Structure 1
Amino acid sequence: MVKLQPMSRSAPTVAERSSLASLTAHRQGIQLAWSLAGALPLLLGYLIALGLEHADWVTHQFPQTVLWCALPYLLTGHLLYRGAGLPSAERRSLLVVTTAVPFLLTPLGFALLQQPYSRGAVLLVYGLSTAWYLLGMWLHRERSMQRLVCLDPGIAQKLQALVGAECLQRQPILLEPWPAGGLVLDQGWQFDGVVLDRQVQADAARTQLLSQLKLDHVRLYSIESVAEMLSGRKVSPAGQDELWQIDGNPAYDVAKRCIDLVAVLLTVPLWLSLSLVVGLAVKLDSPGPALFRQQRVGRNGRSFCLLKFRSMVHQGAGTPARFAQRGDDRITRVGRVIRRWRLDELPQLWNVLGGEMSLIGPRPEQTQFVQGFASRIAAYPYRHLVRPGLTGWAQVQQGYAGSEEETVVKLSYDLYYVAHYSVALDLLIAYKTVRTILTGFGSR
């Protein structure tokens, strides 16, 4: 919750608390140290395994499996390290998925290597690892409180306008006004950085002050960067700066493409059988083709034909595009069911196989919409730096965008994904997608 209050004097001193490193870097440092200290619970697990073997309760494979489980433990630590920059509200969900996935894949690793292993040992190390990381989250919960000093007036109000009052109420952040007598760094001020308004015109005194803060190892934040840390949305600078831009992650693009192909090919019997059932139901429910084809815009602005099961009444070619609304009378009886459970998206797995889409990424928009949005929203084309996906960060955070105003918010989530996509973020999106399907969030 955001509060404006006089700054308090308490240990540790600013030299101990603040530095030029960002809040994300501080979190990564804490996460790294805690993961390395996890050698203690791993050693405990190995000692427990040896004791059980000595008592003839388990075979010799049990302690050997415990040693091998150091690999999924380290992978969990790496994923948590990579996800340290995600909003505070997402840390618990990230912890759930990043501890579960590596240990769920461990039996597959043993099977591929054709090595015997103990399932009980895998469960033991998984339990110890989860407990260890939960303990770390609990012990460092006070360190997660972010104390930021506002250099310029009105910062709290502008931040609230960017991310919303509800979002701010869920965040562990304190915004404190600039002291009337100036910020004296050697008197034990406890804070994580200084927030400034980039729209305030710079003068000689302000430039000198900012330089002095950096020399004193104080981190400077813009309102937009704080909004991004809190909300998981990429906020473009005010005034639509034409030089503002983001870039993709070519190395992860290659790995992501391989993951997409493996995941889709391994599940072919499941989704192909389900597709046959859904296609038959659509065909019997209403006249028209079972598949719906539409031109969408994909990576680097290239158009492709997106496939879906038809969930609306069949309309002729040339029908103008418009957003789906709640209670839309164009949706058929079967269409309501398959949209609720996202079964209408199953044919897009063919688009994934063809390389036009990914399992996770910004949802592809219709060509007509893209042309209009790109002409009115300067940052809009940057969402096409990555392959569009069946599900994405905007879908699990916001749901369906049914207007241009909601599309602007959706774009901020898409741009955040383009700027930060990684294994950790994709795992979090996959976890939240399953939860979204079960709750029906965002379906129309």
Structure 2
Amino acid sequence: MALKRRTLHTRTIIIAARYMSLTINNSSDRSGHISTVPLPFTVDHAAKAIFRLPGARRRILILGVGSLAQGLSQVLLSRSKMFTDLVGLITQDNTQVGHELVGTKVVGTMNQLLSVVERDQIDTIAVCLEDRRAVLPVQALLDLKGMGIDIWDGHHLFEEESGRLPIDDFKPSAIIFSREFRQGIVVRAVKRAMDFSLSLVGFVVVLPLMAAIGILIKCDSPGPVFYRQVRVGLRARPYMIWKFRSMFADAEKDGARWASQKDARISRVGRYLRKWRLDEIPQLINVLRGEMSLVGPRPERPVFVQELRSLIPYYDLRHTVRPGITGWAQTQFHYGASTEDSHVKLQYDLYYVKYVSIQLDVRVMLQTIRVILRGEGAR
């Protein structure tokens, strides 16, 4: 009963402090500064003080020590400790207790779960067991659930905390029978209507800018203003993408390769176009034609798709929605120029595919504006 009361108390404090923190951030964003009225302490200090109180932060215990458990541990350790406190890992192997895995201490065994929760004042448990059938402590978890402890599937907590899907630890059945990974007819219709109307208005508005960019490209280096290239789109169908040319005309005489930092193939004007993502403007034509969306996974070239689908699990799931001019991965991750980067980007892309919605599209568009204003474009 004491554990249940403590959990309720913790949740109340966390909700109050998070609200105060969000209020501070929002007011700061709108006004550019927080009020300078002389007070013993600001609301910001009050929120931080609340999180220093015993039981204020969410205290998380991870059940398991496998790849999913270690991946979630790394995600939680990389985030701010203001809201969460990763207490440790629970294992089946007695010999691992007291040791560290990826910076997180193994604090007990499955048989000690109830006592560890009570001792370390845990209020959230993430189940990250690779094989649950034989080792899942069902009765202990049911007892803890009845005491008010939050029990999470490790995959879901990983998604919530990182905005990515842990694709290396996904079972095919979790995708095949998932209620997500499907776009409802209403969302699909509203998304297409929004794409068409915004692209049409945007195309008319940027026509003068497009003319100016065309002149700059012609003055900078010989070659065409526009660059067309085959990309892989919805249902893995190829289509022709339009871009402003940002490289020299013979940039790919030696074959296709990813752009690199300070790539010598990029022209002077092209470097600025890429930095501010202005080279993507002509893709509004692709959106109007229904080949692309404003928001979605960025389309890849067939040669790269062929390579990546053989190396990265579930890669083709990114082709279940229209590719986008911008995407969730582009606002969350740096420009990827390797198989390893593509692996991480796919985790973001599949998060978008799984949870695609109008609200998420609006969020990506707003974050894209921030990225552009900061000049965090592609290479």
TM-score (structure 1 length as normaliser): 0.64
Distance 1:204 1:435, change over 3 A: closer
Task: Show the counterpart of 2:75.
Answer: 163
Distance 1:433 1:198 in 2: 37
Partner of 2:79, secondary structure, is: helix
Identity %: 34
User: What one-letter code is carried by the residue in structure 2 that aligns with 1:174?
Assistant: D
Separation (CA, whole Å) in 1 of partners of 2:345 and 2:172? 20
Answer yes or no: is the 8 Å Cα contact 2:167–2:314 preserved in 1.
yes
Q: 1:12 aligns with which of 5, 21, 29?
A: 5
Task: Report the equivalent of 2:58.
Answer: 146
Structure 2 equivalent of residue 196 of structure 1: 127
Per-residue deviation at 1:169?
Answer: 4.2
Structure 2: which amino acid aligns with 1:304? Y
1:175 aligns with 2:99: no
**Correspondent of 2:173 among 235, 243, 260:** 243
Q: Give the deviation of 1:301 after TM superposition.
A: 1.3
Would you say 1:220 and 2:166 are equivalent positions? no
Question: Does the Cα contact within 8 Å between 1:17 and 1:191 map onto a contact in 2?
Answer: no
For residues 392 and 307 of structure 1, do their structure 2 counterparts lie closer, same or farther at Cα, with a shift above 3 Å needed?
A: same
Runs of 5+ consecutive residues of structure 2 not aligned to the other structure:
31-42, 91-106
Aligned AA for 1:288? G
Aligned with 1:183: secondary structure?
A: helix
Query: Where in structure 2 are the equivalents of 1:260-271 lying within 5 Å?
Result: 260-271=195-206
What are structure 1's unaligned runs of at least 5 residues? 1-8, 19-25, 35-87, 101-134
Number of paired residues? 334
| Cα displacement (A) at 1:393 | 1.2
Question: Does structure 1 residue 388 correspond to structure 2 residue 323?
Answer: yes
The 1:194–1:155 alpha-carbon spacing in structure 2 relative to 1, beyond 3 Å, is farther
The CA distance in 1 between the partners of 2:6 and 2:24, in whole Å, is: 33
Name the structure with the higher strand share: 2
Which one-letter code corresponds to 2:58 in the other structure? Q
Aligned pairs for 1:15-414 within 5 A: 145-152=57-64, 158-159=70-71, 163=75, 165=77, 167-169=78-80, 172-177=83-88, 182-183=113-114, 191-200=122-131, 202-203=133-134, 206-214=137-145, 218-238=149-169, 241-245=171-175, 247-250=181-184, 251-315=186-250, 320-414=255-349
Change (3 A) 1:156 1:343: closer
CA contact (8 A) 2:62 2:125 kept: yes
Q: Which runs of 4+ in 1 moved over 6 A?
A: 15-18, 91-94, 138-141, 154-157, 184-189
Aligned to 2:97: none
Over 3 Å counting, the alpha-carbon distance change for 1:170 and 1:233 in structure 2 is farther
- 1:210-245: CA deviations, max 9, x gaps? 45445656443243332222111111252x533342
Identify if the C-alpha distance between structure 1 residues 158 and 358 changes in structure 2 by more than 3 Å, giving closer, same or farther.
same
Which residue pairs with 1:431 in the alignment?
A: 366
Greater displacement, 338-347 / 216-225: 216-225
Contact map agreement 2:309 2:315 (CA 8 A) in 1: yes
Q: Residues 256-311 of structure 1: CA distance to partner in whole angstroms, max 9, x if unpaired?
A: 11111111222333212211111122122211111111111112211110000110
> TM (normalized to structure 2)?
0.74
Contact 2:228 2:242 in 1 (8 A): yes
**Structure 1 residues 299 and 205, CA, compared in 2 at 3 Å: closer, same or farther?**
closer
Report the Cα offset of residue 253 of structure 1: 2.1
The whole-number CA distance in structure 2 between the counterparts of 1:193 and 1:208 is 17
Q: Answer whether contact 1:155 1:196 (CA < 8 A) is retained.
A: no
Deviations 1:86-133 (A, max 9, x none): xx9xx789968xx99xxxxxxxxxxxxxxxxxxxxxxxxxxxxxxxxx
Larger relative contact order (C-alpha < 8 A, sep ≥ 6)? Answer: 1
Whole-angstrom CA distance in 2 between matches of 1:14 and 1:189: 12
User: Are 1:155 and 1:223, in contact at CA under 8 Å, matched by a contact in 2?
Assistant: no
Separation in structure 1 between the aligned mates of residue 153 and residue 81 of structure 2, nearest angstrom: 20
CA gap 1:145/1:260 in 2 versus in 1, 3 angstroms: farther
Aligned twin of 2:40: none
SS at match of 1:243: helix
| Matched residue type, 1:351 | N
